[in-house]
Structure 1
């Protein structure tokens, strides 16, 4: 099934699977998709075998359009591309970011239940997202101690600023050993920690030294970790009021051509020992998950499933994204770093499609012709039409 997802050009649905397979008919493919497969464990083992060993976990939401009202999980969800809520389906995607190889692997996809189902269970969206991470905690904690979650663009702070919330972060920190990495609003309500002399006499000791004005912060309270002509990065521990906890921040000031501060961003981690340089690096690497989702939508049929049940929809999503894991490990990571170049899912799809056609050709030819299948000139045809052979 994974090879078919890599070999079929165009839409990937039950009819296409039957057309391109000598094993499946359409009804067999539908029955296969109804089976439960523990993709999280399968992908975990595969990543441990093929990856560098230096990972962080990323969690993000993926919207896909879907018409009708009979599909499980159907409803209105936020679409990042349209910057509004649209009718369709949503899934929470857990990915493993390979820090040393600068790429993302798929781990698991969990469909978001419809509003009626959530109300019947007595949970909201945020509780569902947290529970999805708790379910996968055994696989996640075997790979990394850090979970990086997205922070939306400023125009959507009030719409979907869901992960940097106390309810979500407390649920993850109390239910798993994971530490959170994310980004704060530019005007986040934070306070300097008081570092002066201790109070003598009765009464609680002073904890904070005033609210932080991020437009004009007291930089003497932070440590400069990096500076160049375009960026200054400061490290520090502050108290975040809406999270009700101390956090470590990576405060980035971006400079214009006159070396004046033109903008700033505040990355943070609940791990108070993680250096600011690593906080910024890990959060920015989270974006590799977006490339994984893009390749799934463009090349492995992530949005093509025709089924309506939760089991079949999750099977399709996980197969589409796991196929990218296979392609990435077998056709890209197995090369030395100096020879890899850019990862091209388009070229890999071309390779597997040509491979399928050539295999089918030799299956219908006489038996004695199969001896030339491994001839170098024949094998060149596998890469015919690829962008990067």
Structure 2
């Protein structure tokens, strides 16, 4: 039986925190911080937050910089939001885990792990910091919840970027085993993560890995004919795959703009069988104008399922967009790695809570119209109304604003 969620962001926050073993001081700090975080206009840095929150700038900095056992267990809080969404029936238990990285501009000579990273918006390498994020995506309605975020480390002693991503995935997959009722279908990532270390990490947990091959991928057809009676090892391969000639692939579907082909092939790089799915873009005259090659390590997975799960990965890009545009993901003015990661966790936890509230109001993801900009504007209206009413000694009448026909708390919201 589904558990109903309470109404309002702060009520949902308290409900989520009740499932996490926190100290009283940790719970109080999170309550104070999130009571104003969504409502703060302008840059969402520590100095600006201290102007609205009931705590000083030094208190916020001290909490965000903590890396001792008394620090906020952000991962446990993120997983509690996912558990809440599943137990309340707002999302389906069937999810995929997506991993991707996002570039953040950052200046200064003392910022931890400052380096050169790929900026997809500018299509070039720039100096800054990189965020590596893991998110659970509901397969049915494509609702995404962040479960882990880390900063990519630089320096001669740091592991490679892909090794760090593989270690992060390993930790996250172990932690997700504690989430009740969660049914993880696969791990999805873009083509930059299609490397042996990632494949071995995911398949080591008994899960399929879905990603994208480069166009020059070294794949071979599997030999399915009769083996001649001769000395030596039986024939295993039957030529290299040429993506310009797909006669030996099975045609799955065809429309006026797209053809989908699939075949089980051998990956020379990883020495394993994979399900390859070739998606051809077709022009007006029937000519092939481009193609993409997806793959799944689960060879029995149907081609349409590989496509659907891979396309759901795009929801993590919307997390990055909303975090930067509306929640100040790039406004971090902390220099240590724990501080930077704590700022990102605050941002992404706020987004998780906002999505929970939006799902509750829409009674599920099927009818959801999720606008983080509108939720931020409404939170500011509510904060301003609370301040004005408190100055007039009318705080007890704040609840009446929710039920007024004029809806003053919705002032400035966009029409859905």
The two structures have a TM-score, normalised by structure 2, of: 0.84
8 Å CA contact 2:389–2:398 kept in 1: the answer is no
8 Å CA contact 2:143–2:365 kept in 1: the answer is no
Q: 2:210 aligns to what? A: 181
Q: Does 1:374 align with 2:405?
A: no
Residue-pair matches, total: 370
Structure 1 residues 331-355: Cα deviation after superposition (integer angstroms, max 9, x where no partner) = 2454146984532111111111111
**1:339 and 1:192 mapped to 2: Cα distance?**
41
- The one of 263, 286, 297 equivalent to 1:270 is 297
How far apart are 1:103 and its partner, in Å? Answer: 2.6
Structure 1 residues 56-89: Cα deviation after superposition (integer angstroms, max 9, x where no partner) = 0110111111111211111111211222221111
Q: 2:38 aligns to what SS in structure 1? A: helix
Q: Does 1:43 align with 2:75?
A: no
Structure 1 residues 252-289: Cα deviation after superposition (integer angstroms, max 9, x where no partner) = 12211122322211110111121111111111110111
Q: 2:330 aligns to what? A: 303
Q: 1:264 aligns to what SS in structure 2? A: strand
Structure 1 residues 151-205: Cα deviation after superposition (integer angstroms, max 9, x where no partner) = 2xxxxxxxxx4x112233224333x333211011123211111111133243211
**1:83 and 1:338 mapped to 2: Cα distance?**
33
Q: 1:170 aligns to what? A: 200
8 Å CA contact 1:5–1:301 kept in 2: the answer is no
Q: 1:374 aligns to what SS in structure 2? A: helix
- The one of 65, 70, 83 equivalent to 2:123 is 83
- The one of 80, 87, 92 equivalent to 2:132 is 92
Q: 2:407 aligns to what SS in structure 1? A: helix
8 Å CA contact 1:75–1:88 kept in 2: the answer is yes
How far apart are 1:55 and its partner, in Å? Answer: 0.8
**2:267 and 2:398 mapped to 1: Cα distance?**
68
- The one of 190, 193, 199 equivalent to 2:219 is 190
Counterparts in 2 of 1:288 and 1:241: CA distance versus 1, 3 Å = same
Question: For residues 129-208 of structure 1, what are the structure 2 equivalents within 5 Å?
Answer: 129-141=165-177, 143=182, 144-151=184-191, 161=192, 163-174=193-204, 176-208=205-237
Q: 2:272 aligns to what? A: 245
Q: 1:178 aligns to what SS in structure 2? A: coil
Unmatched runs of 5 consecutive residues or more in structure 1: 152-160
**2:410 and 2:143 mapped to 1: Cα distance?**
23
8 Å CA contact 1:179–1:271 kept in 2: the answer is yes
Q: Does 1:386 align with 2:386?
A: no
Q: 1:358 aligns to what? A: 385
Q: 1:287 aligns to what SS in structure 2? A: helix
Please, which moves more after superposition, 140-149 or 93-102?
Answer: 140-149
Unmatched runs of 5 consecutive residues or more in structure 2: 1-32, 86-90
Counterparts in 2 of 1:234 and 1:349: CA distance versus 1, 3 Å = same
**2:359 and 2:186 mapped to 1: Cα distance?**
26
**2:366 and 2:49 mapped to 1: Cα distance?**
34
8 Å CA contact 1:354–1:382 kept in 2: the answer is yes
8 Å CA contact 2:281–2:288 kept in 1: the answer is yes
How far apart are 1:44 and its partner, in Å? Answer: 1.8
Counterparts in 2 of 1:346 and 1:243: CA distance versus 1, 3 Å = same
How far apart are 1:378 and its partner, in Å? Answer: 7.9
**1:320 and 1:2 mapped to 2: Cα distance?**
10
Please, which moves more after superposition, 287-296 or 51-60?
Answer: 51-60
8 Å CA contact 1:2–1:322 kept in 2: the answer is no
- The one of 125, 146, 150 equivalent to 1:106 is 146
How far apart are 1:379 and its partner, in Å? Answer: 7.5
Q: Does 1:210 align with 2:246?
A: no
Structure 1 residues 283-316: Cα deviation after superposition (integer angstroms, max 9, x where no partner) = 1110111011100001111111111111111110
8 Å CA contact 2:358–2:370 kept in 1: the answer is no
8 Å CA contact 1:166–1:244 kept in 2: the answer is no
Q: 2:55 aligns to what? A: 24
Let me know the Cα RMSD of the aligned residues. 2.0
Q: 1:362 aligns to what SS in structure 2? A: helix
